[in-house]
Amino acid sequence: MNEMNALEMVASGKPAQPPGLGVWLASLGDALETEKEGLCPDGKELSPIAVVGSGRSPTLRVFGELDRALPAYAQNALCAVIFDGLLYNQAELRNHFKGSLLHTANEAELVLQAYLRWGEDALPKIRGLFALVIWDGQQERLLCVRDRLGNHPLFYADTGRAWLISTSLEVLAHHPRVSAGINRVVVVEHLLNRLHKAEETLFTHIKRIPPGHVMRVSNGSHQMYRYWDPAPPGAQVNWLREDELELFDDLFTQTVKRYLELGPAAIYLSGGLDSVSVAAAALDSDCRVGQPPPWALSLVFPHPEANEEVVQKSVAQQLGLPQLLVPFEEAIGSQGLLLADLEMSARLPMPLLNPWLPAYRYLGLAGKNRGCQVILTGGGGDEWLGVSPYLVADLMLALDVVGLYRFWRTNRRSYRLPLLPASRFLLWTCGVRPLLYNSIVFSGLRRVVPKLLRDWRRQRQRTRLTPAWIAPGTALWREIDERVEQTTQRPQFPKEGFYLHELRPAIEHPVMSWELEEMFENGRQMGLRVFQPYWDAEMVELLCRTPPHLLNKGGRSKGLVRQSLERRFPHLGFERQKKVSALNFFTSSVLKESTCAWQMMGGAPTLAELGVVDAKILSANIEQILANNQTRQAHRIWDILVLEAWLRTRL
């Protein structure tokens, strides 16, 4: 698509038309009275593939495109199960129920047997990547389950007459019985990078099942609860010993092998530790499953700080991988990064989060053209191989000066960050400030003068942390203030320590769930299955048990893979490699392209119409940022334009 066509599509608010690969819709109740009420985003009808229940009892119906991949389905007289995804422990469950199952039983039938045997206690026994729906007609109970880390999305809407459930947010948003109204508060929180509730989406009436959670609907009400937790608050941690580190290598190889068995594969290969470790594991003897070597799909960034071409070529050559090296300009197209992002955002069920996704989609489709069905990435390595900087607060609390210095030095040796800002972030933001906030003084203030403290916090949010272009409105501001108060309350000195306490955002933060949903939807639109071995629940369980000094083994971050990669590729400098960042390339691209995009989009009238921004103040602010080349504000422009492009397809 050329530049003008891309902008015309975004500027006109042309509806998104994703192909809807493998979409399905489940309904409990009577909202789907005719087949025509279940529609895909592209206008195709969803035909019923299974129905259970009759008479006045609630009826579970499953709708899907008959010419597309459908979820596994099973039912008996009073119970029905929909299973969409991968079931890791099929063999274990087949062996357990071998006397009561045919050898051709699908995943849903295995789950059905497990539920009949153990009830809701079966849910922690189901391992894999999945979205799961169980209707227990005898108990009149609906269970909607999302896999442990949320690799599969699951959304729902309560129409008052039925519960509608799908892995596709788009299907629910286009359903005639579901209001597609936009949640203005979540829009504001998204623009300001503030935390919103885990269940919320940008649609007021469509919610998500958070990762590792079950929604139980019974007796006209619903309850959400977590069925899996890799690091329960306050629980004793069974820390991994150094002589047990081989468990990591074995589990990582097993995880990569599991995905390679699904078909011809490709790997998004950068020059960083995470994706290189995935590529190396894919070539280990235990992972060779009769498939050809995976393709190495690599982007070549033009910016010198982000260019890893030498390492990418060397790794692929030494591993014997066929490689496709694509210059970033070719992958992104002639319209440039910003316009490509706006076009993609308009086509997604939620606004784009990953600015590099259009380029990686180009790579993915190139891999598909070469016969690949599966793509592996190094995603999750930063979250789980690294050490949370909030370890600093624990070290300060323990007066461990030596440990504090070692951790500071490890970060200096592992990341390309300016000395003073990096040190301030570690020592103040992640050390002194959380200790002060959880101190006896602040705890006493919260008890003695709670209203004064609350008013001070609200005033600070409005004057210092909220830009002037956020449109004021009594009802909207009141709700925002109340939510700020709810999300800023923290316990006094968490029993498990700040380090373990700060692992929770990686499994509970709604943006993390959103990112996984974006990856899943992008794979669905490409017709490919995309997996992240580091974002696997069994890997996460092990890495949560790995103490920080072993994660930083050797005095640098990601020590679990760094040293083995250094031995395997001794001339590529992995032992001394620092984290490569494309931030400066992103910033310069956005600032260079924003003037044209802002003018051709006509600003952000949809956001203004929604009552979220003041158009006049926002335009003046954007002009000032561009005139003064304010690099630290480039992300603001990107966030606003990407959200505006998405909203135009909705309003």
Q: What is the pLDDT of residues 589-623, one digit of tens each?
A: 999 999 999 999 999 999 999 999 999 999 999 99
CATH fold label, 3-226: Glutamine Phosphoribosylpyrophosphate, subunit 1, domain 1 (3.60.20)
Q: What is the pLDDT of residues 543-579, one digit of tens each?
A: 999 999 999 999 999 999 999 999 999 999 999 999 9
Q: What is the pLDDT of residues 245-258, one digit of tens each?
A: 999 999 999 999 99
Confidence tier at 292 by pLDDT (50, 70, 90):
confident
Q: What is the pLDDT of residue 57?
A: 66
- Measured distance CA(8)–CA(1) in Å, rounded: 11
DSSP per-residue string spanning 530-573 = EE-GGG-HHHHHHHHTS-HHHHTTTSSTTHHHHHHHHHHSTTTT
- Measured distance CA(155)–CA(159) in Å, rounded: 13
Q: What is the pLDDT of residue 450?
A: 63
Please name the residues in contact with 455: beta carbons below 8 A apart, sequence gap of 6 or more: none
Q: Is-contact 271 315, C-beta < 8 A?
A: yes
Q: What is the pLDDT of residues 22-35, one digit of tens each?
A: 688 898 886 444 44
- Measured distance CA(294)–CA(256) in Å, rounded: 12
Instruction: Give the DSSP H/E element, type plus range, for residue 175.
Output: none
Q: What is the pLDDT of residue 15?
A: 39
Domain pair 3-226 / 242-384+511-581, same fold: no
Question: Could you tell me which residue, 67 or 389, shows the higher pLDDT?
Answer: 389
So where are the chain's domains? 3-226, 242-384+511-581, 391-508, 584-647
Closest CA to 547 of 417, 398, 407, 405: 407
Q: Which CATH architecture has domain 242-384+511-581?
A: 3-Layer(aba) Sandwich (3.40)
Residue bearing tokens 């493998």: 22
Instruction: Give the DSSP H/E element, type plus range, for residue 341.
Output: helix 337-347
- 475: three-class secondary structure by DSSP: helix
Q: What is the pLDDT of residue 6?
A: 44
Instruction: Give the DSSP H/E element, type plus range, for residue 317.
Output: helix 309-319
The burial class, CB within 10 Å (0-12 / 13-18 / 19+), for 589 is buried
